[in-house]
Amino acid sequence: MDHVETDVLVWAVLLVLTLLLLRMNRQVRSLRARVPELGLPAGSRAPGLDRLAPAPSGPTLLLFLSSGCGGCPAVLEKALDLAATGDVVPMRAVFAGDPLPMGAGNVIPVHTGEQALLNEYRVPGTPFAVLVEAGRVRRAEPVRSLDLLQELASPSPN
């Protein structure tokens, strides 16, 4: 094989690789377009606040939890500890079914039987937190760590 044939072969391989990369890029974009957003997007109207009597008047952290969730007891325990300090935004524990038996109702209002509310907020799984303010969603995300819960519950600086 002479020098010219080698060059042609290299260019042909590069062309095939480029075409494969373009095709893979298109497939990745198509898959990303199908993945739903977790929770409601920031800025959207926060539904069902009137069902959380008394309705939140300022920034409020909604904690969507379930009794069958492995991480929910730790999240609720941390939320109770944070609420006891008083230096956090008000919180609400929202359950699709029965609540966790932790006596949270004395510190954080507990709302049970709210599967419809979980659906309205597009909660993909629990534990999930939604920070609402002025009737709008400010942040919505899974509670993947107790540090994140503390960050979400901290009042924003004025």
For the record, the structure tokens of 94 come out as 């929202």
Query: What is the Rg, in whole angstroms, of the alpha carbon atoms belonging to the chain?
Result: 24
pLDDT at 78: 93
pLDDT at 145: 93
pLDDT at 158: 46
DSSP 144: -
Q: Which positions of the chain have pLDDT values less than 50?
A: 158
Return contacts of 32-35, CB within 8 angstroms, 24+ apart.
none
By percentage, how much of the chain surpasses pLDDT 70? Answer: 91
pLDDT, tens digit, 9 for 90 and up, residues 45-70: 999 988 887 767 789 999 999 988 88
**What is the CATH code for 49-153?**
3.40.30.10
pLDDT at 26: 87
